[in-house]
Amino acid sequence: MLKKLLLALCIGGLSLSACAAENDAAPVAGPAVTPAAQQMVRQAIKSLAANVEVDSIEPAPMPGFYQVIAAGQMLYVSTDGKYAMHGDVLDLQSKRNLGDDAWARFRKAELAKVPASERIVFAPPNPKYTISVFTDVNCGFCRALHEHVAAFNKEGIAVEYLAWPREGVVTTAGRPTPTYTEMVSVWCAKDRKAAFTAAKEGRAPAPATCTNPVKDQFNLGVKLGVNGTPAIYGPDGRVLGGYVTPEQLLQALKQGG
């Protein structure tokens, strides 16, 4: 896949936490993204991995490159299409990862496309904050996080769950994975919230099928760079962590403004 190719061919970067960073737009230093530039970038990515979709192309925060999101990865492609770098670009003065802002904008826009009717929502009457959480019903940390859902709501935080079976959607043999099948049953239950909480407590839902968003939400998670659960995103698209306590989550949300 693209990540393996890039790790083999390109430069890896450092990683800094973005939880407390402001989501101001990074200074635009790269060239404008013309239709010709878009075609060039897509061709460059295709030369690395033919089946990878490019989701976002923006001017990079440094001259001579475009900032690209593809297959859940961020990379930088030179304006002549000859070079690609995979990793983080750091502003050494502010100690900020300049890719965080682009990721946040992208995630916020993509998450906004998922209607509330396709999420499993636990919310107080008038929430101060709304978070999106990619979750797996059999994940230990996901179960521990859900134990705090009443406390989150008490703090004015609405929790909107999206499905992300860690086993994936199908096995290598092409059959649905057990967790995917269980999560479909949860999303197809008559009372989804009750079935969801029961599954988090280790009580499997009654088998059920229907038109459901589980596969689409899994694919969305991959697109947004999810590689484990729980994966929590704030209303501005920032990553807020995995398992967190109510106090930690509220503090992270307040820091985001």
Out of 42, 96, 166, 238, pick the active-site residue: 166
Closest CA to 120 of 195, 231, 44: 195
Out of 100, 101, 142, 238, pick the active-site residue: 142
Residue with tokens 């969801």: 196
Whether 142 is catalytic is yes
Cβ atoms of 235 and 107 closer than 8 Å? no
Strand partners, 57: 68
What's the CA dihedral at 164, 144, 16, 217 to 10 degrees? 10
Closest CA to 121 of 112, 130, 110, 109: 130
Out of 136, 143, 188, 238, pick the active-site residue: 136
Put the strands of the sheet holding 157-163 in their side by side order.
120-122, 157-163, 129-135, 231-233, 239-241
Residue with tokens 């479909």: 184
Out of 96, 107, 139, 143, pick the active-site residue: 139
Whether 188 is catalytic is no
Cβ atoms of 179 and 204 closer than 8 Å? no
Whether 136 is catalytic is yes
Residues marked as catalytic: 136, 139, 142, 166
